[in-house]
Structure 1
Amino acid sequence: MPREFKRSDRVADALQRSLANFIRTEIRDPRVGMVNVNSVSVNRDMANAKVYVTVVGAETDEEAEASVAILNKASGYLRNLIAKDLMLRMTPKLQFFYDFTAVHGQQLSSLIDQAVAEDNAHHSDDSGKEE
């Protein structure tokens, strides 16, 4: 019977939980702000992990990229904490990336809401002219 989940997927889930906790509790730099760890992908050889994050409350992409740069500088410290927490044979090197999908999703949602509102206004104008 084949396995349902690969080891790299299980390690990625454990890394995501640990990183979310350690970023919240151990990173004291106020420039980082509130960070959501959206996903983690680990290579098959468990050497590297890509961590995709969003920064809550960042008004510009530059602020979010600055937070990601700080996290990349603290990646060695976070890796050390994770090694103690998860007791893996080899702890992956962490590389943080800003995840634009949430921002783009909000922009698309607002565009759809705007289009629906304009369509409703257009239909209400048409029904008023016929009467």
Structure 2
Amino acid sequence: MANVRVHRVAEQLKKEVSDIISNHIKDPRVGFVTVTDAEVTGDLQEATIFITVLGEDDQKEASLEGLNKAKGFIRSEIGKRIRLRKTPELDFKFDHSTEQGNRIDQLLHDLKRDEHDSEDF
């Protein structure tokens, strides 16, 4: 039962944080940020928000800095939107799964091409 609640809170948090970042954060450092996932501890005290950012590494770091600077604002907005006894502490982290997936895709593509090239001999 508690697991279901944690999962529901995580999904709601993901949705709300995404909306807040898209529509309410005015910091110019925060670029094209996508919230990919949210993980909440069992006691609902802490939440890790996973993000991807479009752009170069320096733009990604700047976006993360902007989000960390706006944590208080984001938490207060979440507190207004989600009814919890205590709004979780937020921790923003980069989601590297997309990059890893693209890398695996590229490796498989290269492997397939190499196999095809070796069959031509």
TM-score by length of 2: 0.90
**Paired amino acid for 2:66:** I
User: What does residue range 15-34 of structure 1 map to in structure 2 within 5 Å?
Assistant: 15-34=13-32
State which of 95, 113, 119 in structure 2 corresponds to 1:117.
113
Equivalent position to 1:53, from 33, 51, 54: 51
For residues 16-95 of structure 1, what are the structure 2 equivalents within 5 Å? 16-55=14-53, 57-60=54-57, 62-95=58-91
Residues of 2 paired with 1:114 and 1:66: CA distance?
33
- Identity percentage of aligned residues: 34
Q: Normalising by the residue count of structure 1, what TM-score does the alignment of the two structures yield?
A: 0.83
Task: Give structure 1 stretches of 5+ with no counterpart.
Answer: 127-131
Contact 1:50 1:94 survives alignment (8 Å): yes
Cα 1:114–1:101 shift into 2, 3 Å: same
Shift of 1:23: 0.5
- Cα RMSD, aligned residues only: 1.6
Structure 1 stretches of at least 4 aligned residues deviating more than 2 Å after TM superposition: 3-6
1:95 Cα deviation from its structure 2 partner: 0.8
Q: How many residues align?
A: 121
Structure 2: any 5+ residue segments left out of the alignment? none
